[in-house]
Chain A
Amino acid sequence: MKLKTPKNTSAENEVLEYPENPEQFALQVRKKLAALLLNRLHAQPVRDLGAVVSLGSWIASTREQAHITERDLAMALDLTEESIPQICSDQFLPWTMTPSRMADLMILFRLHFDAITKFLNSGGAERSNTETTSNAISTSKVKPWLSDLREELLVRNSEDLIH
């Protein structure tokens, strides 16, 4: 079956339907684009961060591989643009983020729960942020956080990032 392209006549051009709110439409597309590019990069959830030094550097390199700007990423995560370099330079330890915020990040980057637990168990967070080694990973702090994070992913129907 041959599908035809709509004809591009001048009469039709006059009634082209532009978005009622272009900024809002552009924002919607920008969010979808970031998710689509990252999804194409990691069709399967990432279960291991590999040999990267930190979660932040992994996010930074993945963002670059997917050709996403910091602004795109900030918009996709509903964050300020200034917070992206902070995340990428590990100024936030994973468990200092709310489980909801971390879930946003994991869903967008297709990061599996195992990758986060492996990273924490390997002492990755301590390596990546020497200034916070005094806040050594406290099991009493991290365990409930991981449990809340798992719960948050389940609530968002992201079972593929858990199982």
Chain B
Amino acid sequence: MFEQLFKDPTLLRRLKRGDDDAYDEWFLEITSLLHAYFRRWKVRPDQLPDLAAAVLAELWESRFKDYDPERGSPGAFVALVARRVALDHRRAEKKNEALPLDDSVDLIYEIPVPGFDDDGEDRVTRLESALKALQRRERSLLLRKFEGETTKQLSRRFRISESAVKSKLRRIVKKLQRIHQVNSGGNFDP
């Protein structure tokens, strides 16, 4: 799809001469193509400018020095760089995969964030003691989830099914919330 960037010999000649308007024209075309390319990778719209800029930075910095005409066209080279950026992005997204979209997420939002609550520090201390009150295995499961492990990885690590991981996580968060309520002066109703 990037072949069309290199098809207009007049534009390329103007680019070589350092014509700023030709550069603008070419830039408009390559950014539109990169937009379309990354949308196919299901990249979120707000992340598109960053990814397009990352591809262009690679091209600018390498100044096409990695480009080998014997291995393919310049368009294919742009596609290769774009693919590399898309893969890196996808890997990073996988790594930062959020908590499962179940009710535990809503419960986690109940946990206060220091700086957003007047008594944040106290609540964090109480939450720390609530975490310590969990069983070792429960705490380990919850913390590993927070550290980014997927349900599948947790399932292998703790030798339980994936659905068991999800239900345990839900129960642990609820338990943590109950302990936290008691520590905050509320009633504990196990």
Contacts A32-B53, A37-B57, A67-B60 hold; do A16 and B40 have CB atoms under 8 A apart? yes
**C-beta contact mask, B145-180 vs A, less than 8 Å → 1, else 0?**
000000000000000000000000000000000000
Q: Which residues from chain A contact B20 at a C-beta distance below 8 Å? A: 69, 71
Q: Which residues of A contact B49 (CB under 8 A)?
A: 25, 28-29, 32
Do residues B61 and A67 form an inter-chain contact, with CB atoms below 8 A? yes
A35 to B38, CA, bound (A): 21
Q: Total contacts A to B, CB within 8 angstroms?
A: 76
State whether the Cβ of A6 lies closer than 8 Å to any Cβ in chain B: yes
Secondary structure call for the B interface: helix
Q: Known contacts A18-B32, A22-B31; is A33 also within 8 Å of B53 by CB?
A: yes
A6, A29, A32 interface centre (most CB from chain B within 10 Å): A29
- A contact residues around B83 at 8 Å (CB): 5
CA distance A30 to B31 in the complex (A): 9
- Number of A interface residues, CB 8 Å? 27
- Is A23 engaged at the interface, CB distance under 8 Å to the other chain? yes
Q: Are A26 and B27 in contact (CB under 8 A)?
A: yes
Interface class of chain A by DSSP: helix
Which residue of chain A lies nearest to B57 when distances are taken between CB atoms in the complex?
A36
CB neighbours of A17 from chain B (8 A): 35-36, 39-40
Q: Are A30 and B27 touching (Cβ within 8 A)?
A: yes
Q: Which residues of chain A come closer than 8 Å to B53, judged between CB atoms? A: 29, 32-33, 35-36
B residues within 8 A CB of A30?
27
B1 at the interface (CB under 8 A from A): yes
Asked if A3 and B87 make an inter-chain contact with CB atoms under 8 angstroms apart, the answer reads yes
Q: Are B23 and A69 in contact (CB under 8 A)?
A: yes
The 3 closest A-B pairs by CB, nearest first: A32-B53, A17-B39, A16-B36
**Chain B contacts to A: CB under 8 angstroms:** 1, 20, 23-24, 27-28, 31-32, 34-36, 39-41, 48-50, 52-54, 56-57, 60-61, 63, 83, 86-87, 90-91, 94
A-B contact pairs, 7 of them (CB 8 A): A16-B39, A17-B39, A18-B36, A22-B31, A23-B28, A36-B53, A37-B61
